[in-house]
Structure 1
C-alpha cells in the first residue's frame, strides 16, 4: 500500500472516530450526574443500553436519530433500593392492607370485610398492622376469631417480627398452651397460659412452615405488581432480601420472571444465611448471574426490631426493666454461618439494630475481613441504634451502613419510650456516619415501610416524625442534605453491590439507567419532596415507565 493510500485510510479512520452515534439525545435538561467534581450538565445521549455523551454543548460529531427536549426537567441516575422484601411486597399488594387501621374496631371491620371476599380455607396473609397507630395495645385473636371462622389468619406487624394468628390458624399449626417457645421466639400467652394469637421472632416459623405455597402464576402476578410499583417510583435496581428459607427460593422466583421475560428491573438477590451452602453451590454452578439478575450474597438476622422489643441491646429497655432484647439466632452458630459464607466467597448482609447486635456483627466482620474487608462490601442492614464507637469502627473497617431513612420518622414517634434519652443521639445517625467517613446507603425495607425513594429522601433531610411532633427534626443534628441522600440512593448503593464501574453515576460508557423527574428535589421545599413524580424511567436505554 503506498503512502497516499495509507494517509487517506488514516484520515477516514479519524473522521469515523470523530463521529459519535446516539439513538436518542436528551437536551435542555438539568442533569445531576452524581459523579464527584462534575458540575451539572444539560445534555445526555444514549445508544442502545449505554450512555454515549453527557455534557453541555452538543458536539458537532454527535449524530442522534432522535432528539428530546426535556424542558429543563431534572435527570438523575435511577434509584437503587438497598433492602427490599420484593416478593413479600408483591404479596402484600395482592392481599389485605391493615396499615390504615387506627382502632381495634377498624381492625375487626376490615378483616371481616376482606374475609367475605375469600373462599373457605384460604389464608389471610400479610396485613402490615402497626399497634402504635391505636395507642400501643397489641392485637388479640379475639378481635378476629368471630369474623374469620372459615379462614386461617396470619397477619404480620409492619416490621415483620410479630404476627397475629386466629384460633383456626393456631389449631392448624398445632399451637396450644403446651407448645414451648422456640429458641429466639415467643408465643404470647394470657394470664391463664393460653396463646393470645400473637407470635414474636422465631415463633413466626411455626406458621410459616405450614403455609401453602403459591403457584408459579400467582408468584408472577405478585412479581409484576411489585415491579410495576418500583418502576413508577424510579427504582432501577433492588437488593432483594427475604427472612424465610424455603425450598422454592426467592432467587428461583426472580429466575422464573427472567425466563418468562417479564423482568425489567435489575436485582441482586441475597439468600438467607442459614442456606449459605445452597447459595455457594449456585454460584459455583452458575457464577454470579448477569447485569439484570445477579446473586452471590447471604442475608442473616442477629436480632429483631425495636417495635417488637427484639432488638438486642447492652442495656435494658427503658420500658421493660431487666429485658435486653435477644439474639434471634444462637450467636456461636451465627458466627459459624458468617465464617462459612465468607470462606465460600459470598457477600454478607447482616441485620443488626440494637447496639449489642451491631457490636457483635462488627466484631465478627473485622475477624473475617482482616486486610481485605473494604473489598468484601460487607453490609450491616439497618444499623439503627449504634454506639459512637460502633460508628467510628464502621467507617474504619469500610463496612457499609445499609439504612432505611423512613424508619426514623416512624420509630421517632415512640423510640424514646423504648431506649430512653441517653441512647437517642446516635439513633439513625446518618450525618455522623458520613462525618466519620463511613459508607451510607439508602433503601426502603418495603413493605415494612413505603417503597418510594422520595419518602426516604424526605425522611433523611427533615427527620420530621409522622405525628408532626418534631417539625424541626427528631434528633435534628443527624439531618443530611438532599444531595447526600441522592448519593446514598445511587452512587454508594452501586458501590455496595459491586456495580460502580457500570452504574451509579451518569457518565459515558455506563448503563443508561436514569429517570426524568417532575421537579429537582434539591430545589423544592423539603415538605414537597414526597410529591415529586417520575415522568420517565429508562433501564438499559429502554423506556420502562412513563407518567
Structure 2
C-alpha cells in the first residue's frame, strides 16, 4: 500500500490511500457458457470491479495471486434479460390479492371475502390475475363479489391484463351504468337487461383506472423492492419494463426514484406509453437516455389485445364467435400517426401485436418507417403470437425483433384451438420457424401475466407441454427449440434488441460482470428438471446481489 498526498484548491492537505493491487476475483473449476457463437464452454472467469477481465481455461500469470473461488463444476452463464415485464404491476401484485389458484366461482368469492376482511373501509382491492379457464370458461360477475366487498371498491384483472372484474361500488364511483357508452377500443359487458355485469374489456379498463388513487412513494418503493428481490433471485439481471395501460405515464419516475434512493440494483430499460411520445421525446432532450443501470427512450403501444379476452385482431373470424374478428384497441390511423411521430423523434418502438391482422398492420408500418433500414431501428413486436407464414418471413427479412414470452404457449395451448381453429395453429408461438427464417427471437415473461421465472420460460420453449398435461410431446411440437437457443434468446439476442450488445449479453473480456451461478446446467438436465434449477449466486456489475 502506498500513501499519496494531494493538495486541494482550498489549501488543505489530505491523504488518500490507494491499493496498488487490483481487486480481482477469479472463479475457477466452473462450466462457463460464454454465449459467444461457436465458442466452447470455458472453466475460468475473472472480474475486476464491474467488468470481466478474463474468460478462458486457465488462470493468467497476472491473476495468480488474486482471490480465487472454486465453483466445483457449477454452471456459470450471463444473467437473464426479461424482454417484457410489467415490473410495477408485478410488485403491486405481490403486495395484493392473488387469484391465480382459484379454480371455481365459489373459491373466487371465498378468497375475495377473506382478503376484504383484512382491509380498512374504502381501500381498493386490486390486481388479482384470475383465469376463468381454470373453472371452465365462465366469466366472473360482480354478483360473485358484491356481498363480500360492500365497503371496498374492487378492480381485479384477468391474467392477460385485458379484462377486469369490478364490483358495484367501483362502477358507482366511476359513474358507469346502463347508459354509459362503450369507449373506443373497449367493451362494458352487459347482461340481458343492459346492466353492466362488472366485467370490462380493452380500453374500458381506463374508466376505472382513472379513479383509482395513486399509491404513496413509500408504497411504490416497497412494491419495487418486492419485484426486484424476486427478479434477482431468479437470475434476471435486466428487464425491459413496459406499461400495461395508457394512463400509466409515471413508471419511469418510479424507476428514477428507486435509483435515487439507492434501492435499484437490477438493470432496466423503460418504455413509456406511445400516446405520450411527446413527453418521452422531451425527457430525452432534457435528460438524455439514462445510464447503464437505468436507460429509457422507448415507447410501447397496443394495436390489439389478447386471445384469452378475444381482443386480439384477426383477418378471419374467431372460431368460437362467428362474425367477430377481435378489434384494434386504438384507431389504426391514429396509431400509425403515433408510430410515425415517435420514430421521427428517435424513440425506440415496441408494439404489442398478437393477432395476425394486428401483426400485419404493425409490420407494414414498420417497413414504411424504416425506409429500407428497419434492422438499424431494432423495432420490436411484443408477443407476435399468431402471425401468418408470410409475416414470419417478413419479420426476418426486415430485421424486426420478435419479443416473445414462451410460457404463454403452454398456457394458451390448452384452449387456443377453440378460439382460432386448427388452420391457424401451425404458426402459433412459432419459435422454430422464426429462427429457421433467420429472425431475431427474444424471450421474457410478461409478468405478472405469467410467471417471472426464466426457467419456466425455457421449459415452455423446449417442451411446449401444456399445463393441462394434454400435450406431453408438445403442443405444435414442430415449433420446439433447443435449450441453447432458448438461453440465447434470453441473453444474447435480448441484449442486441436493447442496443446493449457491446456491453452485455455474453461473458467476454471488457463486458459488464453480469452473471449467475446455477445449481445445474440447463443443457445437461432432463427437460422436466429445468423448472427446478436454482440460482445459487447472482452478480450484477460485479456485485453480489443475490445468494441462495
**TM-score strictly above 0.5:** yes
> Residue in 2 aligned with 1:11?
none
- Larger CA deviation: 39-48 vs 20-29: 20-29
Is 1:47 the counterpart of 2:48? The answer is: yes
The separation in 1 between residues aligned to 2:188 and 2:255, in whole angstroms, is 33
2:90–2:227: 8 Å Cα contact kept in structure 1? yes
Asked if 2 retains the 8 angstrom alpha-carbon contact of 1:24 and 1:47, the reply is yes
In the alignment, what sits opposite 1:457?
458
The answer for the alignment partner of 1:190 in structure 2 is 191
Question: Secondary structure in 2 aligned to 1:335?
Answer: helix
Q: Verify: 1:29 aligned to 2:40, yes or no.
A: no
CA contact (8 A) 1:22 1:64 kept: no
Cα distance, 1:170 vs structure 2? 0.4
Determine helix, strand or coil for the equivalent of 1:269.
Answer: strand
2:148 equivalent in structure 1: 147
Q: For residue 469 of structure 1, give the secondary structure of its aligned residue in structure 2.
A: coil
**Quick one: distance in 2 between partners of 1:238 and 1:320?**
37
CA drift at 1:58: 1.2
* CA RMSD of superposed structures (Å): 1.0
Q: Does the 8 Å contact 1:25/1:64 carry over to 2?
A: no
| C-alpha deviation, 1:372, in angstroms | 2.1
Q: Distance in 2 between matches of 1:489 and 1:76?
A: 11
Where structure 2 has 5 or more consecutive residues not aligned to the other structure, the ranges are 1-19
Residue of structure 2 in register with 1:480 after alignment? 481
SS at match of 1:291: coil
Paired residues for 1:19-418 under 5 Å: 21=22, 23-246=24-247, 249-418=250-419
1:524 and 1:90 map into 2 onto residues whose CA distance is 31
| Deviation of 1:66 (Å) | 1.2
Question: For each residue in 1:20-77, what CA deviation from the matched residue of structure 2 results, as whole angstroms up to 9, or x when unmatched?
Answer: 9552000000000000121100000000000000000112222453110001000000
Deviation at 1:246, TM superposition (A): 4.0
- Residue 36 of structure 2: SS of its match in structure 1? coil
Contact 1:158 1:448 in 2 (8 A): yes
CA distance in 1: counterparts of 2:21 and 2:479, whole angstroms: 45
After superposition, give the CA deviation of every residue in 1:97-146 in whole Å (9 maximum; x if it has no partner): 00000000000000000000000000000000000000000000000000
Q: 1:71-106 deviations in whole A, cap 9, x for unaligned?
A: 100000000000000000000000000000000000
Residue in 1 that maps onto 2:528: 527
Rounded to whole Å, the distance in 2 between the matches of 1:156 and 1:247 is: 16
1: CA distance between counterparts of 2:296 and 2:370?
20
TM-score by length of 1: 0.96
TM-fit CA distance, 1:371: 2.3
| Alpha-carbon distance in structure 1 between the residues aligned to 2:171 and 2:332 | 29
Question: Does the Cα contact within 8 Å between 1:22 and 1:63 map onto a contact in 2?
Answer: no
Structure 1 residues 225 and 132 mapped into 2: Cα distance closer, same or farther (>3 Å)? Answer: same
Distance 2:520 2:103 in 1: 33
Normalising by structure 2, we get a TM-score of: 0.96
Query: What is the rounded CA distance, in whole Å, between the counterparts of 1:409 and 1:365 in structure 2?
Result: 29
SS in 1 for 2:361: helix
Aligned partners of 1:492 and 1:20: how far apart in 2? 36
Q: Paired residue for 1:13?
A: none
Separation in 1 of the partners of 2:355 and 2:258? 36
SS at match of 2:41: coil
The residue number in structure 2 matching 1:497 is: 498
Tell me how far apart the structure 2 counterparts of residues 330 and 243 of structure 1 sit (CA, whole Å): 18
Aligned residues: 529
Moved more, 242-251 or 45-54: 242-251
- Residue by residue, what CA displacement relative to the aligned partner does 1:457-495 show, whole Å, maximum 9, x if unpaired? 000000000000000000000000000000000000000
Contact kept? 2:426, 2:476, Cα under 8 Å: yes
- Give the Cα–Cα distance (whole angstroms) in 2 for the partners of residues 64 and 142 of structure 1: 71
Given that residues 465 and 474 in structure 1 are in contact (C-alpha distance below 8 angstroms), is that contact kept between their aligned partners in structure 2?
yes
2:209–2:247: 8 Å Cα contact kept in structure 1? no
Summarize the Cα distance change of 1:22–1:282 in structure 2 as closer, same or farther, 3 Å threshold. Answer: same
Deviations 1:280-314 (A, max 9, x none): 00000111000000000000000000000000000
CA positional deviation for 1:228:
0.1
